[in-house]
């Protein structure tokens, strides 16, 4: 009798006899890159935005969730994402990969244009149903992260913080990092902090991938293959 093939794109799916259940971002495909508000796709399908400081690991996190090594361009050079890149999911929803913010080594006018586009999108996009904020677990929330959350949370839409690069910390340090982010949220936003989930995450080790799958799956509903 021929053994059944088992899909094992991540370490969590490697157990013999396991049936691979695709994550919400698996099968995503690139749609368009928008460098200006006029180039954004027509509003209609629900959208989830990924935002974060330059070099926090945003593109790597998207690739890990999509089980695709090169869906979003990951680079060692901060500031390489210069537009909002849209990816369509299997159920028609969209993921928006926003330009990284906070990196100064680009021309000021260009940096300002990226930040203005990001701000306009996050604060006015009616089809945006949730925000995934990428934060380096080693450094915690920074002022620009707080500023972005302060603008987004009044809409009462959910936020998921992925505390990335957690593989570079030991177990105790990871717990402190996630706890520190949660404490900072509560201190800064009070009751609004209840809208924000925090997950320790690593694109390298795939820690936190399944937990993030669960949250994002709840946001966009069940997916048809």
Domains in the chain with CATH codes = 30-220 (3.40.50.300)
Q: What is the pLDDT of residues 82-124, one digit of tens each?
A: 789 999 999 999 999 998 887 656 666 766 777 788 888 999 9
Euclidean distance between the first and the last CA atom of the chain, given in angstroms as a whole number: 28
pLDDT value of residue 13: 42
**Angle (CA) 28 32 33, round 5°:** 115
Q: Name the residue among 99, 94, 27, 14 with its Cα closest to residue 65.
A: 27
Quote the CA–CA distance of 212 and 115 in Å, as a whole number.
Answer: 26
Quote the CA–CA distance of 107 and 52 in Å, as a whole number.
Answer: 19
* pLDDT interval class at 76 (50, 70, 90): very low
Quote the CA–CA distance of 190 and 76 in Å, as a whole number.
Answer: 35
* pLDDT interval class at 81 (50, 70, 90): low
Residues 13-33 have a mean pLDDT of 78
pTM of the model: 0.85
């Amino acid at each position: 009798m021929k053994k059944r093939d088992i899909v094992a794109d991540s370490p969590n799916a490697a157990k013999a006899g396991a049936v691979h259940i695709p994550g919400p971002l698996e099968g995503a495909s690139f749609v368009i890159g928008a460098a200006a508000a006029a180039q954004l796709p027509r509003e209609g399908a629900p959208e989830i935005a990924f935002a974060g400081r330059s070099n926090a690991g945003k593109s790597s996190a998207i690739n890990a969730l999509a089980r695709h090594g090169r869906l979003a361009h990951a680079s060692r050079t901060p500031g390489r994402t210069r537009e909002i890149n849209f990816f369509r999911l299997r159920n028609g929803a969209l993921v928006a990969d926003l330009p990284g913010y906070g990196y100064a080594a680009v021309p000021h006018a260009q940096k300002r244009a990226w930040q203005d586009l990001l701000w306009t999108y996050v604060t006015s996009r009616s089809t945006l149903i949730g925000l995934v904020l990428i934060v380096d677990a080693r450094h915690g929330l920074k002022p620009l992260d707080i500023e972005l959350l302060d603008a987004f949370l009044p809409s009462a839409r959910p936020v998921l913080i992925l505390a990335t690069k957690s593989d570079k910390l030991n177990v105790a340090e990871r717990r402190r990092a996630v706890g520190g982010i949660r404490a900072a949220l509560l201190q800064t936003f009070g009751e609004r902090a209840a809208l924000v989930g925090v997950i320790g995450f690593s694109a390298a080790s795939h820690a936190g991938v399944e937990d993030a799958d669960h949250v994002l799956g709840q946001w966009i509903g069940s997916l048809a293959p």
